Amino acid sequence: MSRRYFGTDGIRGEVGEGPITPDFMLKLGWACGRVFAARAECEGRARVIIGKDTRVSGYMFESALEAGLVAAGVDVTLLGPMPTPAVALMTRTFDAAAGIVISASHNPFHDNGIKFFSAQGTKLPDECELAIEAELDRDIKTVGSRDIGKVTRLEDAAGRYIEFCKSTTHRQFSLRGMRIVVDCAHGATYAIAPAVLRELGAEVTAIGVQPDGFNINEGVGSTDTAALSERVRELNADLGIAYDGDGDRVMFIDADGSQVDGDELLYIIATYRLARGKSCPGVVGTLMSNLGLELALKDHGLGFVRAKVGDRYVKEMMDANGWNLGGESSGHIICSDLTTTGDGIVASLQVLAAMKLADASLAELRAGMKKFPQTMINVRAAGKVDLAAFPAVQDAVQAVESELGNSGRVLLRPSGTEPVVRVMVEGEHKPQVDTLCADLASRVEKILA
């Protein structure tokens, strides 16, 4: 069966446009309740954990989902604004049937969406998503009054998650003497990430920590690090750390203000694990991962494989290979020996631990990986696009590949979360890469218009 609502990372779209509407969320909550209750492995009534980021529409959708879930006879525990990986953690901690996150991640405030976690804190299996979609075709039928679910709020969720993040580092780990600027994107990490770093001893300056419901990801966060870069240079800080709106992605800023992306962070974490004598046979990247990462890992005797873009596909390939490290250039990094899903704070602590172990700067640690120039341009599209249906697009791609020869590659990929086609060109020489990518993006835009 093909999915009508679920994409690569739950259900996402513009608020007020189907399916991101209150009436749909009510029905979705009921459908999820029916499926989760039937699949619950716990004794007694099934429980679902709900967390959200800071966008204003989250309150509306939280209420709608809550109503649908209790109508299906499921208990609900509300966390309030919490990072996505914290919801995965609490789902496991409280033996819940599932976890729900109300967030559109790195998107602007006028978008929102729903992400799901299984009882094991992982993304829902395909058959579960299809079962939910099947329930959406049924009329809502509320359980009897004695069976209606109850709603509670977990007041110490933030404290629990802070302690978990700190526990993922080794004993006696300290950030004393380190000056860090942290950017929380006015999102779900705004009260948590600065606390984690301060409690570990760092001198912390925080930006993007004043959410008002509308400013999430606006000029801040992992998708726009200019403000963070400026602040790092201004304060002469050791580094900067930027999270996205829901806290599952992270980017770093070097002391000189330059950005350190997810590929470089994966390289640093992998080599840190080798230095500590921990098992790290290989790393899973994606089709978008820089060729420089693959070559640098091979220099250290590490394997590297590419999954389709999307953290669920990265995790699936990690499991298939028996590896515990993988991620995306966007900064979505999974350390599966520490937690079950991508976690920006946990990943950032791994990078900081690498710096401490090596007594080296971020610049020194990243120097072992030579990045190939890579340019990506988003081309707007009218909904989902099947690129195979446009022979002219394939011809345009082949023309660029011929010009690059064996020294580069081209990738066109419809986004799973936005109505865009991502056009990427990678090669040895940046001027050539920039020109080819701009020309190709322009041609694709005209063909798809």
Q: Which residues, including other chains, have CB under 8 Å from residue 172's CB and lie 6 or more apart? A: none
Side-chain half-sphere CA neighbours of 160 within 13 A: 17
Q: Which is nearest to 264 in space by CA: 280, 255, 251, 277?
A: 251
- Catalytically active residues are 105
Bridge-based pairing of strands 47-52 and 75-81 is parallel
One-letter amino acid of 280: C
Side-chain half-sphere CA neighbours of 394 within 13 A: 6
- Longest CA–CA separation in the chain, Å: 70
Q: Residue 337: helix, strand or coil by DSSP?
A: coil
Side-chain half-sphere CA neighbours of 263 within 13 A: 25
Q: What tokens were used for 137? A: 């075709």
Q: Which is nearest to 95 in space by CA: 77, 111, 113, 72?
A: 77
One-letter amino acid of 421: V
The rounded distance, in Å, linking the Cα atoms of 85 and 81 is: 12
Distance of CA 234 to the CA centre of its chain: 29
Question: How does 148-184 read in b/e, with b if 16+ C-beta sit within 10 Å?
Answer: ebeeeebeebbeebbebbbebbeeeeebeebbbbbbb
